[in-house]
Amino acid sequence: MAKQYDVLFRLLLLGDSGVGKTCLLCRFTDNEFHPSHISTIGVDFKMKTLEIDGIKVRIQIWDTAGQERYQTITKQYYRRAQGIFLVYDITSERSFQHIMKWASDVDEYAPEKVQKILVGNKSDEQEKRQVATEQGDKLAKAYGMDFFETSAFTNHNITESFTRLAELVLQANKKDLDLLGGSLNDELNLADLEEQEGLCNVSDDTRKSCWC
Amino acid sequence: MDQSVAIQETLAEGESCTIAVECVSLLNDVRDSKLIGLVRQNKEHALFIYSHRRMAITGEDVTLGQIIPISYDFSVVEVSSPDELAVVGADTRVRVTFLEEELELKLPFGSHTRLFLSEVNRAWSDVCQQYPKEEPKFDWLTKYRKVSKGARSLRKSIGATTVKMSQMKKAERAHTANSSALKKEDESARGDALQSQEKVKGEVKDDLIRNSQPVLSNKAQMLGMPQFGLRDNLIKCELLKNEDAYTYIENYSFFLGTYNVNGQTPKESLSPWLASTASPPDFYLIGFQELDLSKEAFLFNDTPKEPEWMLAVYKGLHPDAKYALVKLVRLVGIMLLFYVKAEHAPHISEVEAETVGTGVMGRMGNKGAVSIRFQFHNSDICVVNSHLAAHTEEFERRNQDFKDICRRIQFRQEDPTLPPLTILKHNIVLWLGDLNYRISDLEVDHVKDLISKKDFETLHTYDQLKRQMDEEVVFVGFTEGEIDFQPTYKYDTGSDQWDTSEKCRVPAWCDRILWRGKSIKQLHYQSHMTLKTSDHKPVSSLLEIGIKVVNEESYKRTFEEIVRQIDRLENDCIPSVSLSEREFHFQDVKFMQHQARTVTVHNDGQVPCQFEFIQKLDEPAYCKPWLTANPAKGFLAQGASVDIDLEVFVNRHTAPELNAGLQQLEDILVLHLERGKDYFISITGSYLPSCFGSSLSALCLLREPIQDMPLESIRELSVKSNSPVIDSADKPQEIPKEIWMMVDHLFRYAKKQEDLFQQPGLRSEFEEIRDCLDTGCLDTLPGSNHSVAEALLLFLDALPEPVIPFSFYQQCLDCCSDSSHCRQIISMLPQCHKNVFNYLTAFLQELLRHSAYNRLDVNVVAPIFAGLLLRSPDKQDINEKRKVKEFFQHFLVQTSSDRDIHEKSPE
């Protein structure tokens, strides 16, 4: 097989506590669903390998604590993300309203080139729906994002949404890949590339520990 | 072959090379092939890095370059970590670090590399476990210093050790200096008369001081485990294991031909030989021997006969197909040509050729072999054309030639870090040539009689190759088809007549074709009598070989499933722990009083992990200054647990902002696992305000005990105390009532207390006094005189702005020798600060009147209080301390103006 670029992307799951971020991650990486779930208190991650347009893409998916008191800390993870899922729960109008706050924080703390998609989870609970599909679609258009309604429970639109965000990140960074591919015929860690380009607010040299 | 043998030969007695591996050294984009060995001497290890010839067999093949001791400062880490992307089957890249030297190596894919790295890691882990009580000395490396380029590295190592030792001495000296400074201060405070007793007291006081400053101590050994990426290896191994799932067998026809042409030029068409099959073969592999017998060919490996025979072959190929020449390789007179049907060419890759001579002196090319290897679809194929030693009685020599050829022909792989590939490592091996095995133990007439009867079966039992193969001495694992053609040697050139020379050689099947591998069926095996150019007859074999062809769809599915499994395995290996609790609330935290809770961290993941509390962005430490976690970092084996103590302690540094409501007891700790997850631990507390750590101006506005006031009121007063305008309704008291209570207590009960302010009080009594002042629950302060005295000192020390504010500090020092100027400065202090200063100095003057009982004098009192009332915003040096003391001494001598204040003192 011909030599292909192999890249690593970091994707971040953001949204209110309880919208199902961890369930989305478990469904995508392990194809499992756990009905009763303890809140994520901290930042977890899992790895997944995809192939997009013949390019092997490894994605590191970070699952964040959505509770309000942790938001000051989790903002620090934004700056290392290439893609961000903004997740709300279609049965929770409140979580949908908060998407605007999450989006605003992303604009402030994430790299400029970060790719975003809007995800309305729990699409299987139609009888409890509080947010119409049209509302989500309209908000996504306003923000210039793709929009998916998903269900971690029924595995609806899970692969589609994750693959789509990875595609967007790949497209956004294609120029860098082609540029480096011409001179470096080795594997490429895009996240490291971005660090070298000074996209991080704080250099790793000044820190004792690295966030990831 | 393990190349540690070559390294072992270069080592001294008592030293052993545990394991060795070839690698590529990456230095400034220059790739240099190296042989690296793990060498052991008793319990010490080092990495020896050699330059080496193609294949290291003896000590002479390697040259020692660099030595890297495996000490505490050594580390070897994966450059491409598992959470980064890697190519299937890619090598392991590691960075070897020793002190300031760094070396990047590329190790080949395979279990040997993993074994090597695990051995290195084990050696390093042993060193870490011994550290710091036992450290390797590496004396045994000295003798290599002269011959080794790594001598500089060793000198740096020795130098670094010296630097480390001197640094330790400096640290000790600094510590001693600090102790001396403390002792000097204490001694000067107490005077010489009480020297021995003062030392004991000083030590006790040091303990108290130490208790008030939480000290971070981390005794856990950091046993970092270097991680070596297994991802690529796993993918490749799984793909090999599951090859049947995505490959299928497709048959291709291979025409193998061998012809010893006895130095002749082509005279006739080769079609009767090469185009003898009904349908065109997919592959042609044609071998010649004795292409050129001239000394020019022997000496210069050059011959005009090569293009002649190549052209003859090309013309003789099957006319019903179009063929492409893939490769031609020749050694003197031994030549091999590789043609393929044009349509198959795109599926051929990794073509390599190699030659080896086994002739004169065992090395020259008059005998030997040429070989071509290639990959066709998913099968590796190697074809050998050999010309073995001549003469009937030399069959053992021929056996040895075969072994030499197998051992010495090594194909360079596309990846230079991979070891060379030998013949027998291939899926399919096709061997043809003039093997020169004869028929022995039969008279020539008997042989010819059997030939005339076409009794080849009987004749074959006298064939040397058959006999040697039956004894498994040569061509082990190879198969030869049934021979149903007459011997191919020796004929009169130009005829079919047996050799009529006086030698009258016994006919023999010198020219053979054999194979080794699965899915191989021979369709024909024959000689071609019509070709008369040489004294040999050409031989051909048509093989139908099952080639492993990749089904792209199945491959994709298999690959994806393997990747999915490896992702799952990788996710399972992400370090993970469970915490006994995630939220901690500390109730009623008080000034200078410890509260502690314990969180148990249990490693319930599948790998050991390193944990560490890490700082958050824009914060100077991992936690607030009133909080500590101990241990703040450590290592947890799989299944192990550790108790981490979370301790809250509010001291004079943190109390002011808490009292003023500018800070809360709130923090979130981030427990980070190396290459793993982050866990948040929430810390909250309710802080009970205290007069300790509150400002004088705020306290003057408090008419009630501080804890009887609503928090909002305290904050309002804190803000109000900073404004110059004060309402008449909130007229402040002249001095804080808390100071009054302590001083009044001492005035009433402690004026004659021996060693007042020179003995420490009890911590428990201090806590009672603090509570009494903050809650007003008692009319009389509890505790001993010494405890009340110490409480007064702690109060003054905890003032966010000292009695003489920071802004006046430099002025005081500048005029410390001028008494009237000093008094003038005091007169300019803010009102409550001035009141407190005058009140305290009047009190101290009163105490000094009772020197006969309390044994206080100016030299004792001045240093104690001067340092508290006149504090530097920065660190004080000895000269400044002297000036501070001199400044304050002026106010301990009673003057006529002070007498009036004294008379106003409360009784």
Q: Of B188, B183, B148, B163, whose CA–CA distance to B50 is shortest?
A: B148
Q: Is there a contact between B668 and A207 if contact means CB atoms under 8 Å apart?
A: no
| pLDDT for residue B382 | 97
Residue-wise pLDDT tens digits, B566-614: 887 778 888 989 999 878 999 899 998 989 989 999 998 878 998 989 9
Rounded to the nearest 10 degrees, the angle between the axes of helix B151-190 and helix B195-211 is 120
3-state secondary structure of A86: strand
Among the partner residues A46, A187, A209, nearest to B86 by beta-carbon distance: A187
Domain membership flag for residue A65:
yes
Residue-wise pLDDT tens digits, B358-378: 887 786 788 899 999 998 998
What tokens were used for A39?
A: 């809140």
Task: Tell me how many domains chain A contains.
Answer: 1
Dihedrals phi, psi of B743, to nearest 5 degrees: -65, -40
| pLDDT for residue B397 | 79
Amino acid found at B614: I
Among the partner residues A30, A41, A201, nearest to B679 by beta-carbon distance: A41
Most confident among A154-158, A204-208, B59-63, B428-432 (mean pLDDT):
B428-432
Q: Is there a contact between A29 and B571 if contact means CB atoms under 8 Å apart?
A: yes
| pLDDT for residue A130 | 93
Domain membership flag for residue A172:
yes
Q: How far is A89 from chain B (nearest CA, A)?
A: 24
Among the partner residues B563, B574, B678, nearest to A49 by beta-carbon distance: B563
Domain membership flag for residue A22:
yes
Domain membership flag for residue A191:
no
Among the partner residues B85, B571, B614, nearest to A58 by beta-carbon distance: B85
Q: Of A59, A54, A21, A14, whose CA–CA distance to A38 is shortest?
A: A21
Q: Name the residue with higher pLDDT: B215 or B107.
A: B107
Domain membership flag for residue A144:
yes
Q: Are A109 and A83 in contact (CB under 8 A)?
A: no
How far is Cα B739 from Cα B796, in angstroms, rounded to an integer?
9
List of chain A residues with pLDDT < 70: 1-6, 36-37, 174-212
Domain membership flag for residue A188:
no
Rounded to the nearest 10 degrees, the angle between the axes of helix B785-798 and helix B737-749 is 150
Q: Name the residue with higher pLDDT: B709 or B741.
A: B741
In this predicted structure, the answer to whether residue B86 has a pLDDT above a threshold of 60 is no
CA angle B30, B32, B36 (to 5 degrees): 140
Lowest model confidence (mean pLDDT) among A6-20, A73-87, B308-322, B701-715: B701-715
In this predicted structure, the answer to whether residue B499 has a pLDDT above a threshold of 80 is yes
How far is Cα B575 from Cα B678, in angstroms, rounded to an integer?
10
| pLDDT for residue B162 | 38
Q: Does A184 touch chain B (CB under 8 A)?
A: no
Mutation choice for A interface testing from B582, B678, B679 by most A CBs within 10 A: B678
Q: Is there a contact between B83 and A42 if contact means CB atoms under 8 Å apart?
A: no
Among the partner residues A6, A42, A57, nearest to B677 by beta-carbon distance: A42
Q: What residues of chain B, 585 to 624, have a C-beta less than 8 Å from chain A? A: 612, 614-617
Neighbours of B626 (CB within 10 A): 24
Q: What's the average model confidence in pLDDT over B18-36? A: 72
| pLDDT for residue B362 | 81
Q: What's the average model confidence in pLDDT over B634-657? A: 90
How far is Cα B548 from Cα B251, in angstroms, rounded to an integer?
9
Q: How far is B680 from chain A (nearest CA, A)?
A: 5
| pLDDT for residue A195 | 44
Structural domain harbouring A69: 7-181
3-state secondary structure of B547: strand
Look at phi and psi of residue B214 and say left if phi exceeds 0, alpha if psi is from -120 to 50, else beta.
beta
What tokens were used for B515?
A: 């194979």
Which residues of chain A does B678 touch, with a Cβ-Cβ cutoff of 8 Å? 42-44, 211
Q: What's the average model confidence in pLDDT over B309-318? A: 93
Burial level of B784, CB count in 10 A (0-12/13-18/19+)?
A: middle
- Tell me chain B's radius of gyration from C-alpha atoms: 47
| pLDDT for residue B88 | 38
| DSSP code string of B606-635 | SS-EEEEEEPPTT-SSSS-TTEEEESSEEE
In this predicted structure, the answer to whether residue B203 has a pLDDT above a threshold of 50 is no
Q: Is there a contact between A42 and B668 if contact means CB atoms under 8 Å apart?
A: no
| pLDDT for residue B724 | 60
Q: What residues of chain B, 13 to 52, have a C-beta less than 8 Å from chain A? A: none
Q: Of B367, B430, B431, whose CA–CA distance to B397 is shortest?
A: B367
Report the percent of chain B where pLDDT is more than 90. 34
| pLDDT for residue B318 | 93
3-state secondary structure of A144: coil
Domain membership flag for residue A195:
no
Q: What's the average model confidence in pLDDT over B457-466? A: 93
How far is Cα A155 from Cα A137, in angstroms, rounded to an integer?
20
CA angle A60, A61, A62 (to 5 degrees): 115
Q: Are A95 and A82 in contact (CB under 8 A)?
A: no
Most confident among B194-203, B677-686, B854-863 (mean pLDDT):
B677-686
- Count Cβ neighbours within 10 Å for each residue of A32-58 and write b for 16 or more, e otherwise: ebeeeeeebbbbbbbbbbbebeebbbb
Q: Name the residue with higher pLDDT: B230 or B703.
A: B703
Q: Is there a contact between B85 and A45 if contact means CB atoms under 8 Å apart?
A: no
Q: Name the residue with higher pLDDT: B260 or B155.
A: B260
Q: Name the residue with higher pLDDT: B479 or B618.
A: B479
In this predicted structure, the answer to whether residue B176 has a pLDDT above a threshold of 50 is no
Pairing of strands B283-289, B247-260: parallel
β partners of residue B286 = B257, B337
Domain membership flag for residue A79:
yes
Q: Is there a contact between B678 and A42 if contact means CB atoms under 8 Å apart?
A: yes
In this predicted structure, the answer to whether residue B743 has a pLDDT above a threshold of 80 is yes
Mutation choice for B interface testing from A4, A30, A38, A41 by most B CBs within 10 A: A41
Report the percent of chain B where pLDDT is more than 70. 79
Q: Does B243 touch chain A (CB under 8 A)?
A: no
| pLDDT for residue B629 | 94
Q: Is there a contact between B567 and A43 if contact means CB atoms under 8 Å apart?
A: no
Q: Who's near B775: CB < 8 A, 6+ residues apart? A: B705, B707, B708
How far is Cα A84 from Cα A79, in angstroms, rounded to an integer?
11
CATH of the domain at A34: 3.40.50.300
Q: Who's near B646: CB < 8 A, 6+ residues apart? A: B584, B596, B597, B598, B599, B627, B628, B629, B669, B681, B683
Q: Who's near B300: CB < 8 A, 6+ residues apart? A: none
Q: Name the residue with higher pLDDT: A97 or B513.
A: B513
| Reported confidence tier of residue B731, pLDDT bands at 50, 70, 90 | low
Q: How far is B237 from chain A (nearest CA, A)?
A: 17
Dihedrals phi, psi of B81, to nearest 5 degrees: -80, 165
Q: Is there a contact between A48 and B567 if contact means CB atoms under 8 Å apart?
A: yes
Q: Is there a contact between B86 and A47 if contact means CB atoms under 8 Å apart?
A: no
Which residues of chain B does A47 touch, with a Cβ-Cβ cutoff of 8 Å? 83, 567, 570-571, 574
Query: Number of A:B CB contacts under 8 A?
Result: 83
Q: Is there a contact between A41 and B582 if contact means CB atoms under 8 Å apart?
A: yes
How far is Cα B458 from Cα B443, in angstroms, rounded to an integer?
14
Q: Does A175 touch chain B (CB under 8 A)?
A: no
β partners of residue B358 = none
3-state secondary structure of B426: coil
| pLDDT for residue B27 | 60
Q: Of A134, A144, A161, whose CA–CA distance to A106 is shortest?
A: A144
Q: Are B19 and B31 in contact (CB under 8 A)?
A: no
Q: Is there a contact between B677 and A8 if contact means CB atoms under 8 Å apart?
A: no
| DSSP code string of B555-596 | HHHHHHHHHHHHHHHHHHTS---EES-SEEEEEEE-BT--EE
In this predicted structure, the answer to whether residue B180 has a pLDDT above a threshold of 70 is no
Q: Who's near A133: CB < 8 A, 6+ residues apart? A: A120, A149
Which residues of chain B does A43 touch, with a Cβ-Cβ cutoff of 8 Å? 677-678
Dihedrals phi, psi of A73, to nearest 5 degrees: -75, -45
Q: Are A37 and A162 in contact (CB under 8 A)?
A: no
Q: How far is B674 from chain A (nearest CA, A)?
A: 8
Q: What chain B residue is nearest to A4 in terms of C-alpha separation?
A: B87
In this predicted structure, the answer to whether residue B831 has a pLDDT above a threshold of 80 is yes
Which residues of chain B does A50 touch, with a Cβ-Cβ cutoff of 8 Å? none
Which DSSP helix (H) or strand (E) runs through B122? helix B111-130
| pLDDT for residue B517 | 95
How far is Cα B137 from Cα B134, in angstroms, rounded to an integer?
9
Q: How far is A210 from chain B (nearest CA, A)?
A: 8
Q: Is there a contact between A8 and B678 if contact means CB atoms under 8 Å apart?
A: no
β partners of residue A11 = A61, A83
User: Does the bond joining B906 to the residue before it have cis omega, within 30 degrees of 0?
Assistant: no
Q: How far is B558 from chain A (nearest CA, A)?
A: 14
| Reported confidence tier of residue B118, pLDDT bands at 50, 70, 90 | confident
| pLDDT for residue A137 | 92
